């Protein structure tokens, strides 16, 4: 997520003049132990109503935020889309092809640099 400052702004001892471009990295923020206990652990339960409290606003922002958030957010979170993936995942497990290079390419969104060659395996 990026924004240009419309006025001077100071954060602790750092001064940012108006016009400065400020970037916030979901990759870094979503791995911050202040917001996510054991942030590198796969834990789908952290997003359910069973979790004690969710992260503060903008600690998790997969679709950006504010007035310029992603137009596809509602489609991606639509129950039909999620249930379709859940149905597929019940029958198939995707495995990365052995030896395939997995390297991150952090641009506007985080993606695998060389794509991800996957092999479906029946469950």
Condensed to tens digits (0 to 9), the pLDDT of residues 33-84 reads 988 888 888 887 776 655 566 777 788 888 888 877 888 888 887 877 778 8
pLDDT at 51: 57
Tell me how far apart the alpha carbons of residues 20 and 52 are, in angstroms, rounded to a whole number: 37
User: What is the predicted pLDDT for the residue at 76?
Assistant: 80
Separation CA 26–CA 35 (nearest Å): 12
Higher pLDDT, 100 or 74: 100
* pLDDT averaged over every residue in the chain: 84
What pLDDT sits at residue 50? Answer: 56
In Å, the largest CA–CA distance within the chain is 56
Would you say residue 24 has pLDDT above 70? yes
């Amino acid at each position: 997520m990026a924004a240009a400052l419309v006025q001077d702004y100071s954060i602790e001892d750092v001064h940012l003049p108006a016009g400065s471009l400020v970037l916030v990295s979901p990759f870094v923020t979503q791995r911050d132990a202040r917001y996510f206990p054991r942030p590198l652990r796969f834990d789908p339960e952290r997003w359910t109503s069973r979790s004690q409290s969710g992260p503060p606003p903008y600690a998790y922002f997969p679709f950006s935020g504010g007035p310029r958030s992603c137009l596809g957010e509602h489609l991606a979170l639509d129950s039909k889309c999620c249930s379709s993936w859940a149905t597929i995942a019940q029958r198939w497990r995707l495995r990365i092809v052995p030896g395939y290079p997995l390297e991150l390419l952090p641009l506007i969104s985080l993606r695998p640099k060389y794509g991800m060659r996957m092999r479906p395996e029946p469950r």
